[in-house]
Every structure is written in structure tokens, then in C-alpha cells.
Amino acid sequence: MIKNINQYMMFQGIRLLIILTFVPTFTFAQLHFVRYDSILVTDASLPLTNAWAGGFNSPQFSEIDLNGDGIKDLFAFERNWYGVVKTFINSGTTDQVDYKHDARYQHKFPVMHNWTLLADYNCDGKKDIFTSVPAGVALYRNESGPVPGLKFTLVSPLLLSETSLGLTYLYVSPPDIPAITDVDGDGDMDILSFDVLGNAMMFHKNMSIEKYGNCNSLEFELQSSCWGYFSESSMDNSITLFDTCSENSSREIKGNRHAGSASLALDLTGNGLLDLLLGDISFNNLVRLNNEGTKNIASMTSQDTMFPSYSTPVNLTVFPAAFHLDVNNDNKQDLIISPNNPNTSENFNNILYYKNAGTDLVPIFEFQDNDFLQGEMIDVGEGARPVFFDANSDGLLDIIIGNFGYFVSSGNFDSKLALLLNTGTLTDPSFDMVDRDYADLSSFNINSVYPTFGDMDADGDKDMIIGNEDGQLHYFVNNADTGSPAEFSLSKPVYMNIDVGETAMPQIVDVNRDGKLDMIVGERSGTIDYFENIGTPTEALFTSSPTNDFFGAVDVLLECCSGYSAPFLTNDSVGNYVLYVGSEQGFLYQYNNIDGNLNGSFNIVDSLFLSGLNITISGADLNNDGNTELIYGEYAGGITVLKKGIPSYIGIRETNTDNINVDVFPNPAKSVVYLQLRGKPYYENVNVQILNFLGQVISTHQFTYSGSEMKIDLEGTSPGIYLTRIRTNGFVCTKKLIIK
């Protein structure tokens, strides 16, 4: 059993509240796209197995059987502001790293943030979810099976532990990663975490075996507030051994704390006792602590401050975290090391793979490479901004990727353009990474580059405008002869003195259809600025102030204080404008009612929730099928192409098969929701179903409608995003319902 409390800290975190509370409702579903990840990509003539996986910055790794085939697959949790899940299927080839990205499983995981580790707490052979909530740990049980497939159920929003002060939450500092394993070898899952001051290790012993004779429960007791008899300095990552922590309760914070530790507990010596690998938030090394105590009383007696000193020591700028799993299918646990502090550490070639050349009893970790899985992806460091552009004038669309930058040092990034050259055909594209500093852009020292292309001088070739972090635009003229590869030179820095504030994300497009190229520019605030070209087709002219600084009344800001609107305006299948807007929170929005309404409010049509952050969007007909393919970048440095199709696992859509309107209110709802049908005064046999995000029916209700509101009791329904499906007389309508 798992103990619960009626009141506890707000455990879901900012992003969950945003999704539950502020996701807009929509009218008719039209945003039908699926991943187009069959496109071949090579780098240095070598195929990239997971080209479109989205990149890595600060991933955390765990093993889990995603598809029920008995082989341990890979779960990666990208620690950015809110957390992004990426899933990889393991083909299981012996002695090979053999993972293939498969996004179909990503939406099955709950919203998580800070850290997530998978471990089987109830001995059913299925990995459960331990994840961060403010100052604590939440638990989701793995209830997967042949029928539901991959499924997780929240069983404890906040794990508790019995201490000398009574029952309290099991503390884990948000920057930390705890060690979740069987510490004392009794067969159930325990937790090691640092105390509030970040000095001493706390051992929360699971009493399931002792109380119930099985490992089905999580009932923790604080067994030791100084497990291992060591302490970490408040000022650096130095370790004091043989410290009884007798003054633990009276320790004071002195100076600037560096609090933050990533912990991994494993037996490194074969003595049956758990040693520790510690990474620190302010340092680049891993520290190994050797346990020479007993099962019941751990004692760290020696340390290796440059682990593994017998191989290539770990060296990541700050906060390395270690993960213990078999990645090459040789039945021996290897080590993967990654940075645990996004935006302050390496963001490219920063996932270290150490193969276990020894045994699980006495492991020997030998360095293999620094781009585990990354080397098989399109990854441009941090903040990918892709657009289609024919760079070599061969009639095939290439891909140009801007970025926030490659990490250089704390606070310093090197922003560049990458070129993926299309080596395929008009109907079957393929790409080769040929240049990671296209147009020698890094030499201009423009920070956080966002490219767009258009023929601004009507000379037959497309010029380039770059948006930057400061909200400015820079104009690069294309000096190439017609039909030759593009040759750009900076013609007008700080173009037209335009400054939209922060993070300019421009698109060159004829907004008002007057034959002259205008610009729309997204920005950090979440709105879009429209700049009308008041010059001529051969000599563009813009005022420094936008023609409309609230274009379409679009605002993708969901909370204070940033939205990062990334616009892409294009024609739909009948020639009307449609606007796609990427956002910081990972939503891709679609708007219509644009033509003839440039000063009005656009209609939001639908959205997709994409597995990424800071989504930037562009598009073109990539395969000559008459449809627009979309390409989006994400903060982790990778890109993904979408093509027309009915998505089976991204986004939720509303449908309406009649001209009847259904009002669902209040929305968000709390304890009760009302439905009002508008169209006819009387409907017999109105069937209403409440479905969860996975399409499972939560409740069913039957009404006869005669004009009065239909009331549905929501008591006992967990907060979340649901669908309300209404059926009557051949009419079917589905509406989103948010329960707080």
C-alpha cells in the first residue's frame, strides 16, 4: 500500500497547470499531420539512423520495455524547462547499440519536469515512473498490457517518509537526481537523496518486505540522515569521508551555495555493497565513493575525484549525471553520462558512452564516444530553426537550420547556420549534412540566428534575412548569378532599424498579396509583428515600427513571461492563407480567416502538441505531391518533418459532423460541467461520453434534451484534458474539456 495525504505541495509543476488550465478550445479539426521520418539523411556519407529524433541537450536515460516484446528499450527524458520525453525501440542485436527512435510511445507518459527515473518498485517486471514534484517525488505505476498497451497510473502524487518529526514528504531537491534502488539488498526499492542543505545523504528505507513480506508497497522510513558517513562541502564538490554528520541538524549555509547533486548507486567493486557516483551542479567531474561498510551500515572509505581515472575521466562543463543500463545488448550494464543543467553546459557531442568491459560484478567502464545516439541525429546544439531553401539552385529544396547556438562557455554560444543539401529527387527527398557554418555566418557574431529567404530585390534569386536574440533583423544580399549556388554577403545590418524586442523570428512573405514581399516577425512575447513593404518589388522599404504589432490578435503566451511565437504563413489547398505558429510550450497552432482581415482577429482552428520545446515552424512542398510539408525545430537542437495525414498519437482534435453547435461550460470545469445543444429544440437519446487523453471512456451519460442544460457531475474525476463526445440522431460532436 502507499500512504496518501489530503493536502500536499503543488506537485504537478508549472507546465502541467498550464496544459490543464490554459490550452485553448477550438472549432473544427483541420491540422492533420504525421511524422515524415522515413527521409534518408547522411552526415559525412554515413546514414543517420535517428535523424529526425529531435536532438539532445540534457537527457536522462532509463530502460523500459515499451512495446511488450521482452527487450529493454530506451526512455530519454530531456531536462529543459519542462521536460520532454523521447522513446527508442531496441532491436536487441547482440553487442550493438541498436536503438530506433519511435515517437508513438512518447505521449503515453505523463507531464513531468526536472528529473525522471524508471524503476520497478512492485516486482512485476514493469518499470514504473519516479519523477520530480516540488521538493519531492511522485510515483506512477506501470499498468501496461496487451490491451491497454503502455499505460501509467498516478498512485502517489507525493511520496512520504517516516522521520523523527513524523510522516513528511520524501525530500529531493529539484536540481538533484536521487538514487532509486535496493540499497540494503532486502528486495524492495529504497531511495537515497541529499538533505535540504545538500551536504549529507539521506537513506529512505522501504519497509515493504519487513511489513508485508513482499515488494508491492512503498512505505519509507528515514533510516539514516548520514548514509555512507560522508559529507559534501557547501562551497564546492569536495567530499569529507568518515563524517558522522553529528552536527547535521545545525549546519548553516555559508557563502554562495552550489547545491545540486546527481547520484547513482551501484556496486563498483564486487563486494555486494553500493558505491556512489556523484556529479555536482558547479563542476565538470564525477566523484566515485567506495563503500567498505556493511549491508546495514554503509561507510565510504575512499574516493576517485576524476572517475574513471583508469580510462578517460568524465569532463562535462557542469553537472554530469550518470545512468546505468545495458545499451549494447551484451547483458552488462554500461554507463551513459550527460549534463544535468540545460543551457549552461555542452549541447553538442555531450552524451558520453562508457562500455562495461568487465562484468556486472566488477565493472570496468571504458570510454567509447561522446555522441551516444546524438551522432545518429540531426543536432545543431541548442534551439533549432529550420527552413526550406534551394541553396545550390538545382531545383530541389534543401534545409537551412539556424540555432540559438553551440555552447562555448558559460553564457557564451556560437550561433551558426547548418546546410542539409537535398541529394534526392523532386518526389523522393534525401539530405546530406554538408556544412555546419553555412554562409560563414558565425564570423558576423550574430547571436541566436533565425533565417528566412525571399527575393527582396527582384533579381531572380532569394536573399536572406536573419533574426537575432536582440530582436533585430540583418539583411544578406544574394550575389550569385541566376542558377548558381547562393552567395550571401551582409548588406544591411540592423535592417531598417527594426527591433521587435527579443528573439526576432521572421518570415518573408507577401502578406497583403500586392506583389511585394512583406515580413511577419514572431518574438519572445508570443505575439507577431507585421511589416508591410511600402517600397517597390525591386527596392523593399519598411518602417522601423510594425504596420501591425498584434497581427491577427495572435498570442501564444500561456504564462508569464514568454511565448516565443514562430510564424509560418502559407496557402491552403484552395489558395487561402493559413497561419501556423510554433510556441515555447510545444504547441503548434493553426489560424485561418486571414485574407481580407489583416487588421482583425484570426480564427484559431486547431493545435498539435509536439514533443519538444520552443517549436519553430516552416514549410514547403518537399516531395512534389501538391501538399505543404511542415518542418519544425525544437530547443534540444533537432528537427522533424511532418506531412499530411491523420495523426494517431500527436494532438487531440475536435470533430463535428453536423451544423449543430454544442456549448460545454464552464471550461475549464471543476466539479460539474454543463452541455447545451443549439440547433433543434428537442433531441431524444443524447449519449455523452467523457474520454481521457488516451481515448478511454471515463464515464457515460444518457439524456433527453428539450432545451435545458445537461448537467454532468465530475466529482472524483482527476484533473486533466478530456474529450466530451456527444451522439444523438446520427449527430456526432467531440469537444475538449479541461478539468482542474
- Quickly count: other Cβ atoms within 10 Å of residue 36's Cβ: 19
pLDDT for the residue numbered 729? 61
Shared-domain flag, residues 429 and 367: no
pLDDT at residue 127 tops 50: yes
Residue 17 — very low, low, confident or very high, per pLDDT cuts 50/70/90?
very low
pLDDT of residue 682: 58
Is residue 26 situated within a structural domain? no
Q: Tell me the three cell numbers of residue 85.
A: 520525453
Residue 665 and residue 522 share a domain: no
If asked whether residues 142 and 287 sit together in one domain, one would say yes
Percentages helix, strand, coil for the chain (3-state, rounded to 5) are: 5, 40, 55
CA separation (Å) from 101 to 86, 382, 641, 700?
Answer: 8, 20, 14, 37
Q: Which pLDDT tens digit goes with each residue over 694-739?
A: 556 789 898 887 667 789 999 888 888 788 888 776 566 777 888 8
Do residues 149 and 238 both lie within one domain?
yes
Whether residue 367 sits in one domain with residue 435:
no
Query: Which residue would you say has higher pLDDT here, 661 or 312?
Result: 312
- Report pLDDT for 552: 96
Q: Which three cell numbers stand for residue 431?
A: 539530405
How many structural domains does the chain have?
3
Mean predicted confidence (pLDDT) in 608-612 = 83
Higher pLDDT, 379 or 721: 379
- Structural domain includes residue 236: yes
CATH number of the domain bearing residue 216: 2.115.10
The pLDDT tens digits of the residues spanning 344-370 come to 899 999 999 999 999 999 999 999 999
How far apart, in Å, are the Cα atoms of 40 and each of 101, 129, 425, 433?
A: 14, 34, 12, 11
Do 359 and 391 sit in the same domain of this protein?
no
Span 207-239, pLDDT tens digits: 999 999 999 999 999 999 999 999 998 888 899
Tell whether 1 is covered by a domain.
Answer: no
Residues 524 and 401 in one domain: yes
How many helices (DSSP H) and strands (DSSP E) are in the chain?
Answer: 2, 54
DSSP 373: T
Question: Containing domain of residue 525, as a range?
Answer: 382-644
Helix H segments across 36-155?
Answer: none
- Biggest distance spanned by C-alpha atoms of the chain: 82
Q: What is the pLDDT of residues 30-76, one digit of tens each?
A: 468 899 999 999 999 899 999 999 999 999 999 999 999 999 999 99
Per-residue pLDDT, 400:
99
**Residue of higher predicted confidence among 195 and 653:** 195
| 41 within domain boundaries | no
Given a contact cutoff of 8 angstroms between Cβ atoms, the answer to whether 374 and 348 are in contact is yes
* Reported confidence tier of residue 648, pLDDT bands at 50, 70, 90: low
Does the residue 9 lie in any domain? no
Evaluate whether residue 181 is within a structural domain.
Answer: yes
Domain contains 486: yes
- Cα–Cα nearest to 112, from 60, 161, 68: 60
The set of cell numbers assigned to 718 is 482527476
Q: How far apart are CA 671 and CA 684, in angstroms?
A: 26
- 584 touches 613 (CB < 8 A): yes
Please, which pLDDT band fits residue 660 given cuts at 50, 70 and 90?
Answer: low
Q: Which of 376, 401, 416 is the last residue of a domain?
A: 376
- Which pTM does this prediction carry? 0.84
Read off φ and ψ for residue 106, nearest 5 degrees: -65, -40
Residue where one domain finishes, among candidates 355, 376, 397: 376
Distance of CA 36 to the CA centre of its chain: 19
Q: Is the pLDDT of residue 24 over 80?
A: no
Work out whether strand 731-739 and strand 220-224 pair parallel, antiparallel, or are unpaired: unpaired
Q: Which amino acid is at 470?
A: D
**Which residues is 339 bridged to in the sheet?**
320
Residue 154 CB neighbours (<10 A): 14
Share of the chain above pLDDT 70, in %: 89
Do 533 and 608 reside in the same domain of the chain? yes
Choose the weakest-confidence range: 38-47, 184-193, 488-497, 693-702: 693-702
Under 8 Å between Cβ of 532 and 546: no
**52, 37 in Cβ contact below 8 A?**
yes
Q: Running DSSP on this structure, what letter comes out for residue 518?
A: E
C-alpha span between 123 and 128 (Å, rounded): 10
**Do both 541 and 492 map to the same domain?**
yes
Model confidence at 141, in pLDDT bands (50, 70, 90)? very high
Residue 268 in this model has a pLDDT that exceeds 80: yes
| Rounded Cα–Cα distance for residues 690 and 723 (Å) | 6
CA atoms within 13 A on the CB side of 128: 23
Grouping H, G, I as helix, E, B as strand and the rest as coil, residue 17 is helix
C-alpha cell at 116: 525522471
HEC string for 610-658: CCCCCCEEEEECCCCCCCCEEEEECCCCCEEEEEECCCCCCCCCCEECC
- Note the pLDDT of residue 29: 38
Task: Looking at the structure, tell me whether residues 522 and 451 fall in a common domain.
Answer: yes
What are 508-512's contacts with CB under 8 Å, separation 24+? 508/452, 508/453, 508/454, 508/456, 508/465, 509/454, 509/569, 509/570, 511/569, 511/598, 512/598
**284-299 pLDDT per residue, tens:** 999 999 999 999 999 9
Asked whether residue 143 is domain-assigned, the answer is yes
Q: Are 64 and 326 in contact (CB under 8 A)?
A: no
* 388 and 370 fall within a common domain: no
The residue among 411 and 382 whose pLDDT is bigger is 382
First-last CA distance in the chain = 27
638, 602: one domain: yes
Q: At 681, which CATH number?
A: 2.60.40.1930
Residue 685 clears pLDDT 90, i.e. is over it: no
Position with higher pLDDT, 373 vs 732: 373
Report CA dihedral (350, 351, 357, 358) to the nearest 10 degrees: 110
Q: Are 569 and 528 spatial neighbours (Cβ–Cβ below 8 Å)?
A: no
If you ran DSSP here, which 8-state letter would residue 718 be given?
P
Q: What is the pLDDT of residue 255?
A: 42
Q: Which of 311, 344, 376 is the last residue of a domain?
A: 376
